Structure 1
Amino acid sequence: MMDWTDNHFRTLARIISKYAWLYTEMVVAETIVHQKDNSDRFLAFPAEQHPIVLQIGGSNVDNLSKATELATAYSYDEINLNCGCPSGRVAGHGCFGARLMLDPEFVGDAMSAIAASCSVPVSVKCRIGVDDHDSYEELCKFVDTIVSKSPTRHFIIHSRKALLNGISPAANRRIPPLKYEYYFGLLRDFPEVQFTLNGGVNFIDQVNVAMGQGAHGVMVGRAAYNNPWSTLGYVDSAVYGVKSDSLSRRQVLEKYQIYADSVLEKDTPHRPSVRQLVKPLLNMFHSEPGNGLWKREADAALRHCKTVKSFLEETLDALPDSVLDSQLSGDPPKWDGNFDNMETLLPPKYTAGTKDEFKLHACLAMST
């Protein structure tokens, strides 16, 4: 999520969850290439953020390849190509993001070049379609083409199509209907490929329900940003089955403050402001008593505080100790939906090639 999942938010996320895979905001390949002498600004991250995926965007194969090669020095765990962003700045003027779904041959070539420039897995994040190109068969042809032309074996599927004209990126996250049946159709028709479900996932219990129905993985985006404590806080125990650190919000803030003020102490050309470093914290008390008062005090404090420590000292009195010191316990809140009707909603089986032909494509791609 551009301007959201930056280094600072990812640091907060890693303090709360030790096991969730983190994704960078999309970084444009041309930016990485043209700013190669300043690459730390766009690519560096604390080692604690592993496992972490670099998401890149672009529509020039050479630049995508060069950007990937430059990124290898930073030891990302996976490289992901964004084929899902509907922003006019990206899909319109930039001619990449979701618009790339209209040219699967190009995406296959691009993924082949990206894979050849790194030694880690590669993946594609996409929608289920674009504008009127939204049939299940077209989605399958997109996946099949990329798999046949590259070693790509992981797709993150946002289960809405993208509308490139007339609506905003925000509207693109709610107006096109979710079609989870397309996602589950892909699981059925491409058993050799890993698919991660994305779109409309707001509860950790929903993650477990999806995986119980066969999902290989689930990506949670804005829900994790808008309510990091109650979303990410359950990931390690509820999803990975690992005992979490059971930190309180106060302890999370203390750890984050040490990180944030260490960043402020560095004399670098693009040192962030206190406001930028506090931004990821503003949803830590979502729906809790004192949240409104705390945000008002935060707005006032950000006008003069020079450190995150002083910001917290000045504002946390607005929140009850019961909110600051409580720990998450028990199971995550239940999701009142289900995926049980997917079997009846599944689209017709993809029949563009036999299973043996698909395996042949896969073998040929892996051998190149």
Structure 2
Amino acid sequence: MGASRYRPPLFSVAPMMEWTDNHYRTLARLISKHAWLYTEMLAAETIVYQKGNLDKFLAYSPEQHPIVLQIGGSKLENLAKATELASAYNYDEINFNCGCPSQRVAGHGCFGVRLMLDPKFVGEAMSVIAANTNVPVSVKCRIGVDDHDSYNELCDFIYKVSNLSPTRHFIIHSRKALLNGISPADNRRIPPLKYEFYYALLRDFPDLTFTINGGINSVVEVNAALRGGAHGVMVGRAAYHYPWQTLGHVDTAIYGAPSSGITRREILQQYQEYGDSVLGRDGNNRPNVRDVAKPLLNLFHSEPGNGLWKRKADSAFMHCTTMKSFFEETLVAIPDSVLDAPIAGGVPSGREDLFANVHDLMPPPCNVREEEALYA
């Protein structure tokens, strides 16, 4: 999994539409040197049709390695061409989206999580993707869709895809998806988490690699999953909403690296250089200060001055044209004691017992008949 020059993907930040863009990933990498970062999902059709403007969609700074490109789509020809075009950008892995429940995605052209209902096609798609890149490929999926939510059906999907393609890494969101019109937000909340399905996959597919995703909100919980045998853990909204409290502990608490001692003041000084270098790059005044500053708004969560900082930021967005002027106007709200506190200070919170009984709940070993699984 991944390039050998990087630490293994014990911790990764989930691909999140309109959130894990270049700006957020730049901030995330300043905080954590070892977390694996994922792009937002990018439709294969976008890559193909924007062939003359690919830097806008695919370019990133070398500092963002290790980084995974997530693509989505349902047409083999476009998936092949998109992967070929993306290969010039040297991503460390290509991930295929089979988990998004958004009606904008799943409701059109058998895209996203609907693809779990057609594992034979996913196997073909992964073969096409792998044939057009020289880096590892992976699939991100749910544990089921609507009434197709038995453990055996999940095993059938994993078995077919892994036997029909070179795919050896699966990211498993441990909830099923409901495609009955509920929102993506409700799909992250209403279907119950079944971590026991994930751990059963580790038992039943020992030659594959699985990353667990869903409902894991701190490095304490990440380490609990790893102690339970997880190969890797993917964290989503907690890494975005609480970047300092989450990403700030990844390198030390998960990877065992010494603390860099970097402070938020130092991070913002580096981020200012990045921000001012990209303002207006795409034309029509985009990105603007608001775009670039968006991921910063959670950097002082629960700290003294956080509320005033956000109010000052809202005001500054109306007239600031550089990140330098934005910081000059807003950071006066944050005490020096906060700005100059070193990274990973204090003990992170979380549920130590999140996976305590998961092995007792695992379903019986799956029963996938090879001939039926591959050719049904």
TM-score with structure 2 setting the length: 0.92
The yes-or-no answer on 1:135 pairing with 2:135 is no
The yes-or-no answer on 1:297 pairing with 2:315 is no
| Residue type of the alignment partner of 1:350 | C
Deviates more, 1:300-309 or 1:327-336: 327-336
- Cα contact 2:280–2:287 (8 A) shared by 1: no
Q: In the alignment, what sits opposite 1:324?
A: 339
Q: In the alignment, what sits opposite 2:353?
A: 337
Q: 1:267 to 1:211 in 2, by over 3 A?
A: closer
- Cα contact 1:65–1:114 (8 A) shared by 2: yes
Q: In the alignment, what sits opposite 1:123?
A: 138
SS state at 2:298 partner: coil
**C-alpha offsets along residues 272-297 of structure 1, whole Å, 9 cap, x if unaligned?**
11110000101001111211111111
CA distance in 2, matches of 1:195, 1:343: 16
**C-alpha offsets along residues 7-43 of structure 1, whole Å, 9 cap, x if unaligned?**
0000000000001100000000000001111111111
Q: In the alignment, what sits opposite 1:179?
A: 194
From 174, 180, 188, the counterpart of 1:165: 180
Deviates more, 1:187-196 or 1:94-103: 94-103
CA distance in 1, matches of 2:177, 2:321: 42
Q: In the alignment, what sits opposite 1:365?
A: none
Query: 4+ runs of 1 displaced by more than 2 Å?
Result: 265-271, 328-338
The yes-or-no answer on 1:217 pairing with 2:232 is yes
| Residue type of the alignment partner of 1:112 | S
From 245, 253, 259, the counterpart of 2:260: 245
| Residue type of the alignment partner of 2:329 | E
CA distance in 2, matches of 1:196, 1:210: 10
Q: In the alignment, what sits opposite 2:11?
A: none
SS state at 1:126 partner: strand
From 80, 83, 100, the counterpart of 1:65: 80
CA distance in 1, matches of 2:136, 2:251: 23
The aligned runs of 1:145-156 (5 Å cut-off) are 145-156=160-171
CA distance in 1, matches of 2:204, 2:261: 40
Q: 1:64 to 1:346 in 2, by over 3 A?
A: same
Q: 1:68 to 1:267 in 2, by over 3 A?
A: closer
- Cα contact 1:238–1:332 (8 A) shared by 2: no
The yes-or-no answer on 1:52 pairing with 2:52 is no
SS state at 2:368 partner: coil
- Cα contact 2:199–2:358 (8 A) shared by 1: yes
CA distance in 2, matches of 1:167, 1:94: 19
| Residue type of the alignment partner of 1:341 | N
Q: In the alignment, what sits opposite 1:28?
A: 43
**C-alpha offsets along residues 77-105 of structure 1, whole Å, 9 cap, x if unaligned?**
00000000000100012421111111101
| Residue type of the alignment partner of 1:5 | T
CA distance in 1, matches of 2:109, 2:64: 29
- Cα contact 2:141–2:173 (8 A) shared by 1: yes
**C-alpha offsets along residues 237-262 of structure 1, whole Å, 9 cap, x if unaligned?**
11111113121111111111110001
Q: Structure 1 regions of 5+ residues with no counterpart? A: 362-368
SS state at 2:140 partner: strand
Q: In the alignment, what sits opposite 1:364?
A: none
Give 1:334 deviation, angstroms: 4.1
TM-score with structure 1 setting the length: 0.94
Deviates more, 1:247-256 or 1:328-337: 328-337
**C-alpha offsets along residues 209-268 of structure 1, whole Å, 9 cap, x if unaligned?**
111110000001110000001100000111111113121111111111110001127475
CA distance in 2, matches of 1:197, 1:266: 37
| Residue type of the alignment partner of 1:335 | R
CA distance in 2, matches of 1:94, 1:5: 24
Give 1:337 deviation, angstroms: 2.9
- Cα contact 1:205–1:334 (8 A) shared by 2: yes
Q: 1:57 to 1:270 in 2, by over 3 A?
A: farther
Q: In the alignment, what sits opposite 2:289?
A: 274
From 274, 277, 283, the counterpart of 1:262: 277
| Residue type of the alignment partner of 1:85 | C
Deviates more, 1:87-96 or 1:267-276: 267-276
The yes-or-no answer on 1:42 pairing with 2:63 is no
Q: 1:200 to 1:309 in 2, by over 3 A?
A: same
Q: In the alignment, what sits opposite 1:349?
A: 365
| Residue type of the alignment partner of 1:170 | A
Q: In the alignment, what sits opposite 1:84?
A: 99
CA distance in 2, matches of 1:78, 1:170: 27
Deviates more, 1:151-160 or 1:258-267: 258-267
Deviates more, 1:161-170 or 1:183-192: 161-170
- Cα contact 1:238–1:331 (8 A) shared by 2: no
CA distance in 1, matches of 2:123, 2:32: 34
Q: 1:10 to 1:94 in 2, by over 3 A?
A: farther
Report the identity percentage: 68
